[in-house]
Structure 1
Amino acid sequence: MIRHGVLGLLIACALPLQAQDLVFSPGILANDITNISAAGESVWVGPYLNVSHDGGETWLAANVDSLRGFASSVYSLEVKGQHIWGGLGGNYVRSGNDGQSQLVHEIRGLVHSSDAGNTWSYLSHLPPIDSDPASTGLIDTPDDTLITYGSVELSTLPITVSALSPPWDISFDLTNETLWVAGQLAGIRRSTDFGRTWERIVLPPDTTKYLAPELGYDFPFTVQPVGIAPDQFHGLNFQAFAVLVDQTGTIWAGTAGGLNRSEDGGVRWHHYTTEDGLLGNWIISIEEQPRGAQPPAIWATNWLGNGRNERYGVSVTRDGGLSFETALQGEQCYDFGFDGPRVYIACDRGLYRSTDDGYTFLLENDFVDHRDPSRSMRPGAAVYTVEVVGNAVWVGSGDGLFKSLDHGKSWQIYRTAVPLDPSDLSPIIPSEQVPRVSAYAYPNPFSPSSDRLTRLRFDLSNPEAVTIRIFDFGMTLVREIFFSGGAAGANEVAWDGTDEGGVRLANGTYFYAIQSRKDTFWGKILIID
């Protein structure tokens, strides 16, 4: 059991805060779509808790204080029945010991709705105020230096700061009302009281294949080699990035040191690595493929850990861990979606689709809106998440949200649509931060090498063709684009940062003029590469 003292200052932080409502949203609130989860016909989208109940025709947003003004974002999302759980995180840049900048992710709490998103509670990640030595928070107090496993007490390194402990994954066991969180250095944690208190779960050390309390152990349960010789450190398997409670109640945990399985609620664990057939030991996503009366197939992404001869790809076990098959060797993947024998895998290079239970795959990375062929996914954008909802396949990418009603043969594209008139904003976005403009470009500043293109957004009162002219800082015309498909309402035109000859323009400030029959809209773009 983890031991900790009482921190009186934290009592207010350990309680749920005020309820919030769903509010109007002009569309999805970000183009970097990292999470999709669904219940029935309701599709929830991260990173800012958008929901659509009508297939994407209209959108709402959770008006949660911790998300207002984009103060935090949703790192993990789980929808089970009426329950919606969101793991909140954020990031900042700090300088390392070598002088290099490092992006650091941190936990910022959880949000929960028990009524399908109509009202919300915020739950702090800080340790609770009670005298129960078995419970802690999603981070620890300095006194959490011992943890009981079976008949022994293991020394442990308390995780007392939020940095490097973001809630990368959440799984909610609806039957047992138990919540599981994978929190990197914070490891795997379990709550049986809806997030008020937490128990830190002991996983096998890197070199241990089976962990059971009756066997007796004496190893340091520490996620970092603090006070331990490097050759004696075996704690990569304590650093958790994925967790799943499958339909049989089996717990699966993905770490920087392999894949773990427990059939007794997280007490005894089997530990699998490349020695057992995985491609790589760093597991960042685990999902189940339902198979009717058969046990589900368990799919996991395989990334490069610290072992030799590791490779990117995915692995699947169809027999509860007795054997593993692999696919997509060399591909960096993030998430899975299933529809009977159809398997969808979100990867860095696009969406892989299979119609035969994952034995063969086709790559889809040319997402074009069948309603408007001028709208497409930016070349090079990664696909991060996929979810099957009824007859619809939803895909989240670094360049918007896509939906297919024909198993991925054609697509509709949804993107953030900040109105030109800030009075049309969702209440979640402070209107004082958004000026009234006649046109804007996004992203801006714009990096042609990484962003590939920027989009110019403007409104037209009537359908008509427009001409877009790009000028350098000296007002020399460098590019002219004729757009014949102008429609009444919002329009977008993409520019790749090149001149009339296809040569990439130098860094600097550029001006654009969008000319219709009656108006000319001016704006500025900063190219930084």
Structure 2
Amino acid sequence: MKRILIWLCVVGLGAAPAWGQDSPRLQKLQPTVGLASNTVQELASAGDSLWAGPLLTVYTEEDERLFAPDDPVVQRRLEEGSNVVLSLAAGGERRGAPALWAGLAFDAGGNTTGAGGFLVSTNGGASFTERPAPLDDPSDSTVTYGTSTLPAVPITQEAGSPPRDLAIEPQADTVWAAGGRSGLRRWTAQNSTWTRSVLPPDTSTRIDPSTPTDFLVAPPLDDGRGSQNHRALSVLVDETGTVWAGTAAGLNRSRPDEVAPSGARAWRLFRPDGTPNSLPGQVVFGLTEQPRPNARNPVWVATLRADGGSVLQRSGLAVTPDGGETFRQPLIGVQVNDVAARRTRVYAATEDGLFVSGTQGETWRTVEEVVLAEADQAFPGTITARAVEVTPTALWVGTTEGLLRLNRADEPRLLAEGREAPPPEWQLFRTEVPVSPDAPTEQVPDVETYAYPNPFAPSRDGAVRIVYDVPQPQTVKVSIYDFGMNRVRTLEEQEPAGQQEIVWDGTDASGLRLPTGTYLYTVEVGGTTVRGKILLAN
């Protein structure tokens, strides 16, 4: 799904049991005063619990607060390491608790993200284990597909193979991963291993394991070989057991009755054809199932126009209400980052705000600005929505400026028109660490300034925010230095009194992106100078 800033949607299925303060799970979760990062890129729900990335935070409706996993594996991989959560899937049940899979990515050089493996919990987040990235052995030069033995290029490098999307089957004994260059992979609890799924090559729209075939199983290679359809970006298992796989070449479908005894699947590839009855764009990076009573659940498909693709392609949203028999295009010309749905409403997270439809996409309302319930909070600017999710009691929107929550009872007001319907009030969760607190604690340390997110990756986060306290209205000067104490950037703002923040995009005074490294900064305010450090990862 493009750069790391375009995020995928996995809507968790299955209900989670209620968890009280004395439950084993909450004994393993630590209350937290805010998010670890205000760029919320991933959301997944299980029952009334909502999990958020990129550094794993969970909100429980019963307790009405945020928690962070108190697990050494999570702390080592996320808090102390350079990994971030690129994909999340919650749902299914094993041993009476929902499963949670978090797909990790890390900087493998430049703007390329690498496969960081997985964090897995089978008890609702009480504890986690690690699983390695599903890569191949160098000797894996063939793949068995039904009656055929196909040549294959083994994917042995983490670069370009992060887990971009995940899907958990209802019993949590099978997990699917869309891994970019590593393609579509399937994990089963029975074998505790990953297998490579064979999708159609770019030259075909159907394959069947009972029919002999011959093609190379590989993503696009430098020598021109390989298939865009073997670069997997999204995956979904719907209510019927049908597996949907979005790739850089279109949308693949495999139904439950199309599975051979060996486990190999027949696939049908859907591509855009320039008509309103197909996909708008070729790159399929988001898939969501909508629960509908007395009918088959529609599948919503977020697409992008492929670079160099047909001029007939456009970014937008498609939906198939009948398992792929027909498609329509309810939202065109908009970059949709994520989709979530209830029985009667559909929500699309876009670069231009939150789109809401109560008519199955026939008409849409756009939410560009929000009214906050807390008078002392302010939402900076319009919504840039990266992720959206629903729980039984709330609507959640992940943005570049924090996590928004709206009570379910207030959701219909998003569609209301006229002055008689005032806008609903949202709850905002952000990084909440005060500077120079009156009563420092382990969770709220005594610091005069800090920066978040830190480490800061411009390709993922967009900007880093430097926080400080202003005793009275005045001009604040922030200077940023490289590790050799050469000043690379100066920022100035006229600030009111109170806790304030200034934004830095990781560039120098001439607008050039700075290299990876440690940067020091000073804040000159109130006749004093305070200092901090930023880890920049390009």
The 1:188/1:496 distance shift into structure 2, 3 A limit, reads closer
Paired with 1:25 and 1:337, the residues of 2 have a C-alpha distance of 26
Deviations 1:413-449 (A, max 9, x none): 11112454796455xxxx9xxx8423446579999xx
Alignment check: 8 A CA contact 1:123 1:195 kept? no
Alignment check: 8 A CA contact 2:38 2:453 kept? no
Matched, 1:32 2:35: no
The 1:62/1:363 distance shift into structure 2, 3 A limit, reads farther
Three-state SS of the structure 2 residue aligned to 1:363 is: strand
Q: What residue ranges of structure 2 are gaps of 5+ in the alignment?
A: 1-24, 415-423, 480-489, 512-519
Alignment check: 8 A CA contact 1:48 1:70 kept? no
* Aligned position for 1:87: 103
Matched, 1:389 2:396: no
What pairs up with 1:435-474 in 2 under 5 angstroms?
Answer: 436-440=446-450, 456-458=467-469, 466-471=472-477
What pairs up with 1:86-485 in 2 under 5 angstroms?
Answer: 86-94=102-110, 103-125=111-133, 138-175=134-171, 177-193=173-189, 196-225=192-221, 230=224, 233=225, 235-264=227-256, 267-275=265-273, 277-305=278-306, 306-309=308-311, 310-372=313-375, 374-379=377-382, 382-405=384-407, 406-407=410-411, 408=414, 409-418=424-433, 420=435, 424-425=441-442, 436-440=446-450, 456-458=467-469, 466-471=472-477, 480-483=494-497
AA aligned opposite 1:83: A
Three-state SS of the structure 2 residue aligned to 1:411 is: strand
Deviation at 1:354, TM superposition (A): 1.1
What pairs up with 1:15-94 in 2 under 5 angstroms?
Answer: 21-54=28-61, 56-63=64-71, 64=74, 65-80=76-91, 81=93, 82-94=98-110
The 1:472/1:145 distance shift into structure 2, 3 A limit, reads closer
Deviation at 1:56, TM superposition (A): 4.8
The 1:207/1:180 distance shift into structure 2, 3 A limit, reads same
The 1:269/1:374 distance shift into structure 2, 3 A limit, reads same
Paired with 1:477 and 1:84, the residues of 2 have a C-alpha distance of 42
Tell me whether 249-258 or 438-447 shows the greater mean CA deviation. 438-447
Three-state SS of the structure 2 residue aligned to 1:237 is: helix
The 1:149/1:452 distance shift into structure 2, 3 A limit, reads closer
Alignment check: 8 A CA contact 2:40 2:52 kept? yes
Question: Percent identity, aligned pairs only?
Answer: 30
Alignment check: 8 A CA contact 1:244 1:253 kept? yes
Paired with 1:452 and 1:28, the residues of 2 have a C-alpha distance of 16
Alignment check: 8 A CA contact 1:446 1:454 kept? no
Paired with 1:270 and 1:438, the residues of 2 have a C-alpha distance of 58
Deviations 1:32-73 (A, max 9, x none): 111111112111111111112137534233532322324311
AA aligned opposite 1:248: T
The 1:451/1:209 distance shift into structure 2, 3 A limit, reads closer
Paired with 1:115 and 1:338, the residues of 2 have a C-alpha distance of 26
Paired with 2:152 and 2:144, the residues of 1 have a C-alpha distance of 10
- Report how many residues are paired: 451
Using the size of structure 1 for normalisation, the TM-score is 0.76
Alignment check: 8 A CA contact 2:69 2:125 kept? no
Paired with 2:533 and 2:219, the residues of 1 have a C-alpha distance of 43
Paired with 2:435 and 2:100, the residues of 1 have a C-alpha distance of 32
Paired with 2:283 and 2:167, the residues of 1 have a C-alpha distance of 19
Paired with 2:457 and 2:184, the residues of 1 have a C-alpha distance of 39
Paired with 2:280 and 2:395, the residues of 1 have a C-alpha distance of 27
Tell me whether 67-76 or 144-153 shows the greater mean CA deviation. 67-76
Paired with 2:228 and 2:183, the residues of 1 have a C-alpha distance of 10
Paired with 2:34 and 2:466, the residues of 1 have a C-alpha distance of 17
Deviation at 1:326, TM superposition (A): 1.0
Paired with 2:252 and 2:396, the residues of 1 have a C-alpha distance of 29
Paired with 1:521 and 1:315, the residues of 2 have a C-alpha distance of 56
Alignment check: 8 A CA contact 1:418 1:425 kept? no
* Aligned position for 2:516: none
Deviation at 1:221, TM superposition (A): 1.2
The 1:454/1:119 distance shift into structure 2, 3 A limit, reads closer
AA aligned opposite 2:41: T
Deviations 1:123-148 (A, max 9, x none): 122xxxxxxxxxxxx10011100011
* Aligned position for 2:515: none
Paired with 1:525 and 1:66, the residues of 2 have a C-alpha distance of 24
Deviation at 1:509, TM superposition (A): 7.9
Deviation at 1:363, TM superposition (A): 1.6
Deviation at 1:212, TM superposition (A): 0.7
Deviations 1:317-337 (A, max 9, x none): 111111111133221111111
Tell me whether 142-151 or 381-390 shows the greater mean CA deviation. 381-390
Paired with 1:239 and 1:437, the residues of 2 have a C-alpha distance of 45
Deviation at 1:479, TM superposition (A): 5.2
Paired with 1:304 and 1:248, the residues of 2 have a C-alpha distance of 29
Paired with 1:28 and 1:346, the residues of 2 have a C-alpha distance of 20
Paired with 1:252 and 1:216, the residues of 2 have a C-alpha distance of 23
Three-state SS of the structure 2 residue aligned to 1:206 is: coil
The 1:400/1:194 distance shift into structure 2, 3 A limit, reads farther
After superposition, the CA RMSD in angstroms is 3.5
The 1:318/1:62 distance shift into structure 2, 3 A limit, reads farther
Alignment check: 8 A CA contact 1:368 1:413 kept? no
Three-state SS of the structure 2 residue aligned to 1:66 is: helix
Paired with 1:479 and 1:185, the residues of 2 have a C-alpha distance of 44
